[in-house]
Amino acid sequence: MSNESSQQMVVREARLFADEVLRPRAGDFDREEFLPRDIIDELAKRKYLLASLPEADGGLGLDPVYYGFLTEEIGKACCSTRGLITVQSSLIGETLMRWGKKEQKAKWLLPLSNGEKIGAFALTEPGVGTDAKGVQTSYVKRGKEYVLNGTKKWTSFGELADFFIVIAACRTEITAFIVERDRSGITISHQKGLLANRASHLSEIEFQNVTIPEENIIGKPGSGFTFIASTALDHGRYSIAWAGVAIAQEALDSMAKYARERKAFGRKIGEFQLIQMMIGNAVTKTHAARALCIKVGEMRSRGDSNATIETTIAKYFTSQIACEVTTDAVQVHGGNGCSNNYPVERLFREAKVLEIIEGTSQIQQLIIAKYGLRKYGKSSHY
């Protein structure tokens, strides 16, 4: 979808869908810890599930900037619905497009697009999070088959998934496998009591002697981290960067609306300078976060070699901004900000998660610092 006006139309339609369908129900999804099938079907009908992929593969062919705008519109209304798009398009779809065999693409992409199949990316484990290279889920080769054992945790939409992309190790060799849900030896447990992402069907998945044919390997044996997981995480971080913008913007909208309506001491609270200070800061931070994401999207569109590190910078920055803006939004709402009758309570929780998923903020800082030490202070960098 190279026509810019067509992409703009997709974003406008997504905004209407978010306003009319998602936003009124997002609080219920959070409380019930469940994303209804009718929402998934509607996303599939609109081809949002693989929005960043070419139209021939069931997507919308959105370029990175407009995929970001779509992510923002959906994410403002419902973080869990945005999360489904992130998993299907950024983690699963982009990974299969880049590294999947022809047969794997033919088997999975169109079913993913039309919502017939749901995929999940199984990387994190009970004892392995940020140190993704240290996965303990293991495999051994037996003839032309592989036997998988181990446990994955915090797998978004694992409860709904028809298949998983599983990152596993054989000593120092790390490989990515497509593992169908219905294979013998798989146990899936829903994770409850979560701070946020409550309607993302997060699951713990146990693999006990699960047999996988060699044609289910993505890429080549041993390429599971360096190529497969790294590709998925890069695309995932770009989507999460826009998720930070979405949460910040929704919180800003909520606090501005509340400040115009709420009265204290006989005046609208928006007339008080300290409230104006928080709103002014929120406007500036949100605009800066969006501008950074647009810049990164443009870099990704033209294949700029610095796009990956700039994506990391954007993910780190917007996650931080989302936390800061939602904190002020709760403060502006006062006691009401602590009630789930107001969306800022949910946004506050959702924002914190962004500093953890797709690499913690501390890991992003280390990556960015190493980049800064290499690049700056030697000569002109302009």
Q: What does the DSSP 8-state code read for residue 35? A: -
- What is the three-class DSSP state of 7? helix
Contacts of 195 (CB under 8 A, 6+ apart): 349, 352, 353
Q: What is the mean pLDDT of residues 47-73?
A: 97
Q: Which of 72, 94, 345, 358 is catalytic?
A: 358
Question: What is residue 54's predicted lDDT score, i.e. its pLDDT?
Answer: 96
Examine the domain organization and report whether 315 and 244 are in the same domain.
Answer: yes
Percent with pLDDT over 70 in the chain: 98
The per-residue pLDDT of the chain, averaged, comes to 96
d(CA 262, CA 269): 6
CATH of the domain at 296: 1.20.140.10
- What is the three-class DSSP state of 109? helix
CATH of the domain at 152: 2.40.110.10
Examine the domain organization and report whether 95 and 77 are in the same domain.
Answer: yes
How many other CB atoms sit within 10 Å of the CB of residue 205? 24
Examine the domain organization and report whether 253 and 187 are in the same domain.
Answer: no
pLDDT at 2 over 60: no
Domain assignment present for residue 319? The answer is yes
Domain assignment present for residue 253? The answer is yes
Please check whether residue 212 is in contact with residue 146, taking contact to mean a CB–CB distance below 8 angstroms.
Answer: yes
Examine the domain organization and report whether 29 and 83 are in the same domain.
Answer: yes
Domain boundary among 118, 139, 159: 118
pLDDT band at 4 (very low <50, low <70, confident <90, very high): confident
Domain assignment present for residue 51? The answer is yes
Q: How many domains does the chain have?
A: 3
Question: What is residue 152's predicted lDDT score, i.e. its pLDDT?
Answer: 97
Q: What is the mean pLDDT of residues 81-105?
A: 97
As given in the structure block, the two tokens for residue 71 are 């992510």
Please check whether residue 95 is in contact with residue 164, taking contact to mean a CB–CB distance below 8 angstroms.
Answer: no
Give the range among 4-13, 113-122, 123-132, 237-246 with minimum mean pLDDT: 123-132
Q: Are strands 203-213 and 186-190 parallel, antiparallel or unpaired?
A: antiparallel
Examine the domain organization and report whether 242 and 361 are in the same domain.
Answer: yes
Examine the domain organization and report whether 230 and 369 are in the same domain.
Answer: yes
Domain assignment present for residue 382? The answer is no
Q: What is the mean pLDDT of residues 307-336?
A: 98
CATH of the domain at 46: 1.10.540.10
Examine the domain organization and report whether 207 and 271 are in the same domain.
Answer: no
pLDDT at 148 over 60: yes
User: Which value, to the nearest 10 degrees, does the dihedral of the CA atoms of residues 208, 187, 183, 177 take?
Assistant: -70
In the residue annotation, 358 being an active-site residue is answered as yes
Question: What is residue 188's predicted lDDT score, i.e. its pLDDT?
Answer: 98
Examine the domain organization and report whether 70 and 96 are in the same domain.
Answer: yes
Question: What is residue 204's predicted lDDT score, i.e. its pLDDT?
Answer: 97
Examine the domain organization and report whether 179 and 280 are in the same domain.
Answer: no
Examine the domain organization and report whether 239 and 352 are in the same domain.
Answer: yes
Give the range of the structural domain holding residue 155, as residue numbers without chain letter.
Answer: 120-224
Domain assignment present for residue 380? The answer is no
Question: What is residue 380's predicted lDDT score, i.e. its pLDDT?
Answer: 61
Domain boundary among 174, 204, 224: 224
pLDDT band at 118 (very low <50, low <70, confident <90, very high): very high
Phi and psi torsions of 257, nearest 5°: -60, -45
Question: Identity (one letter) of the amino acid at 199?
Answer: A
- pLDDT tens-digit profile of 193-252? 999 999 999 999 999 999 999 999 999 999 999 999 999 999 999 999 999 999 999 999
